[in-house]
Amino acid sequence: MQLKNAEFMGEDRIFPLLMKLSIPAIIAMTVMALYNVVDTIFVGRGAGPLAIAGLAVVFPIQMIVGSLGQMIGIGASSILSRKLGEGDKEKAEATLGTAFFSVALVAVVFSLLVGIFATDILDLFGATDEIMPFASDYLTILVWGFPLFVFSMSTNSLIRAEGNAKMAMKTMLIGVGLNIILDPVFIFGLDMGIRGAAVATVISQVCSFVWIAFYYLMKRSVVSLKREHFRIDLPLFKEMIILGVPNFVQMTGMSLITMIINILLGTLGGALAVSTYGISMRLLSFIFMPIHGLAQGFQPIAGFNYGAKKFHRVKQVLYAAFITSTLVSIVFYAAIMLWPRFFVGFFTSDSDLIAMGGPALRTMGLLLPLIGLQMISSIYFQAVGKGLHALLLGLSRQFFLLLPTILIMSRVMGVWGIWVSFPISDILALMVTLIPLGFEMKKLGQMERKHQAEVGISAKAVM
C-alpha cells in the first residue's frame, strides 16, 4: 500500500469522513462495553455478588495494564498520522518500529510484576477477606494474557492512525466476540465460575494477537514494519510518551480512584456497595465507550490535517465531534436515567443490590452527556502534538477534581457522597476544559490566516 492511501483524510467531506473512521470504532467500543456488561452478568449469575465485587477489584488493574498500551499506541499514532499528513513515510515507519519494541518491553516487565505480587496488589486495590478468593482466582489466570492485551490496545490506535478504521474494528470484534461466546462455555458449561471468565479472556486475547500479527506480517498496512526500525528511537520514544501520558494519566488515574473508591465502599458499605459500584461502572461504559470510539475516529483526521496545515478542516472536525459525541451520549444516557433498576436487575436477583444500584447509577451518571466535550478536547490536543495541554486536562478531572470531591463527600455523606461526587466533578471539569479550548480555537484561526497568506505569496511568486 502506498502513502497516498491515507490522503483521503485531508480531502473527503468532514462529517462523512468522521463517520467513516468513527463508526467502526464506535461499534467496536460499544461491543467492548457490551462485553463488560455480559461478562459481569455471567459472573454474577454463575458465581454470585461476591464474584462481581472480585471483578470490580481487578478491573482497575486491567485499566492500568491497558493504559500502558494506550500510552504508547496513542502517542505513536499522533506522530504517525501527522507524518503521513506531511508525506514523511520513513519517519512514520520508524515510529511504528519504536512503538512495537516499546510495547513488547513494557508489557513483559509489567506482567511479570503483577504475576509475582498479585496478592499484595489485590490487597492494595481493596480486596477484603470475603472478596479476595474471587479476585485472586480471576487475576492469577488473567495475568497470562496481559502482554497480549497491551499489544492489542496499542496497535488498535496505530491501525486507526493510518485511516484503516475497519481493520481496527475487526480486531476488537474478534477478541470481544470470542470472549462473549466462550464465557458461558467456561463459566457454566465447564463449571469454572470466575476462573472460567478469565480463561475465556486469555484465549480471546491470543486470537486478537494472531490477527494483528498477520495484518502487519502480510504487509497489509499503509506503514510497513521493518526490521531495522524494530528498536527504540529515543527522540521518537520521548515524543510518543509525552503525547501518550495524558491517556495513561486518565486511565491510571481512574484506576487509582477506583481503588480508593473500592476501599472506601468496603469500609462504609461492605461488599454490597463494592458490587454496586462495579455494576454501575459497567453500565456507564455504554456512554463512555461510544464517545471514546468517536474520539478514536476523530484523532487521525485532526492529526493528518494539522500536519498538512489544513487548519480549517481541523476546526470543522472538532466541532463535528463535539456535536456528535453529545448526541450519542444522550441516547444511552436517557435509557439509564429512565430505567436504572431495570438495568441493574440484569446482573443479579439480589433485592438489596438492586435497591442500592438503581439510585447509585442514576446519581453517578447525572451529567455524563458533558463528558464528550472534555474527552474530545483532550484527544484533540494529543492529535496536534500538544501533550502538556492534554495531560493537564486529564489530570484536572481525575486528580484535581474527582478525587478530592470523593474524599470530602464520603466524609460528609458516607456511601451516598461517593455517588454524588461524579456529577459534581463532571460540571467542574467542563468549566476547566472550556478555558484552554477557547484559546486554542483562536490560535487555530490565526494559523489558518497566516497559512493562507503564505500560500498566496507563493502563488504570486510563481506567476
Domain presence at residue 2: no
CB neighbours (10 Å) of residue 170?
19
Residues present in the chain in total:
463
Residue 462 is predicted with a pLDDT of: 40
Domain presence at residue 7: no
Contact 213, 157 (CB under 8 A): no
Q: Which of 114, 129, 137, 115 minimizes the C-alpha distance to 46? A: 137
Domain presence at residue 6: no
Between vectors from CA 61 to CA 273 and to CA 25, what angle results, nearest 5°?
Answer: 100
Q: Which residue has the cell 494506550?
A: 70
Domain presence at residue 66: yes
Give the integer Cα–Cα distance in Å for 303 and 79: 8
Domain presence at residue 1: no
Residue 418 is predicted with a pLDDT of: 92
Domain count, the chain: 1
User: Rounded to whole angstroms, what are the CA distances from 422 to 61, 180, 197, 239, 327?
Assistant: 21, 30, 29, 32, 20
- pTM here is 0.66
CB neighbours (10 Å) of residue 119?
14
Residue 193: burial class (beta carbons within 10 Å; 0-12, 13-18, 19+): buried
Q: Which of 298, 322, 324 minimizes the C-alpha distance to 384? A: 298
Greatest C-alpha distance within the chain: 80
Residue 3 is predicted with a pLDDT of: 47
How many alpha carbons fall within 13 Å on the CB side of residue 359?
Answer: 10
Domain presence at residue 266: yes
* Domain hosting residue 146, numbered range: 12-455
DSSP state, 274? H
Domain presence at residue 255: yes
Q: Mean pLDDT of residues grouped by 10 in the chain (463 residues)?
A: 55 82 76 73 77 81 80 79 72 79 83 84 80 86 84 76 72 80 86 85 86 77 68 77 75 78 85 83 78 82 80 86 86 83 79 85 85 83 75 74 89 91 88 84 80 60 43
The answer for residues whose C-beta is within 8 angstroms of residue 149's C-beta and 6 or more apart is 62, 65, 66, 69, 205
The string of DSSP codes covering 289-307 is HHHHHHHHHHHHHHHHHHH
Q: Which of 59, 67, 437, 61 minimizes the C-alpha distance to 245? A: 67
Residue 356 is predicted with a pLDDT of: 87
